[in-house]
Amino acid sequence: MNQPSAGAQPPHQSSEQPEQRAAAGPGAEPPPPVRTAVKLMWVGAALALLSVLLLPLQTSALREQLADQPAPGIDTDALVATAITFAVVIGLISAGLWALMAVKNRKGRTWARITATVLAGLNILVTLATLTGAAGTSTTTLNLLLSVVSLVLAGVIVYLLWQRPASEWFDAMSRESATPA
Find how far residue 38's CA is from the centre of its chain.
8
When pLDDT is averaged across residues 73-86 and rounded to a whole number, the result is 83
Share of the chain above pLDDT 90, in %: 45
For position 164, what pLDDT does the model report?
97
Are 73 and 48 spatial neighbours (Cβ–Cβ below 8 Å)? no
Given a cut of 50, whether residue 32 has pLDDT beyond it is yes
Look at residue 49 and tell me if it is in a domain: yes
Closest CA to 125 of 113, 134, 138: 134
When pLDDT is averaged across residues 8-34 and rounded to a whole number, the result is 58
Question: What band does 16 get if pLDDT is binned at 50, 70 and 90?
Answer: very low
For position 180, what pLDDT does the model report?
65
Count of CB atoms situated within 10 Å of the CB of 147: 19
- CA atoms of 45 and 101, how far apart (whole Å): 10
End-to-end CA distance of the chain, in Å?
36
When pLDDT is averaged across residues 22-47 and rounded to a whole number, the result is 86
How many structural domains is the chain composed of? Answer: 1
Tell me the average pLDDT of the chain.
82
Q: Which domain holds residue 125?
A: 31-171
Are 19 and 171 spatial neighbours (Cβ–Cβ below 8 Å)? no
Look at residue 14 and tell me if it is in a domain: no
For position 13, what pLDDT does the model report?
43
108-167: per-residue pLDDT in tens? 999 999 999 999 999 889 888 877 776 555 567 777 888 889 999 999 999 999 999 999
For position 10, what pLDDT does the model report?
46
Find how far residue 32's CA is from the centre of its chain.
16
For position 135, what pLDDT does the model report?
57
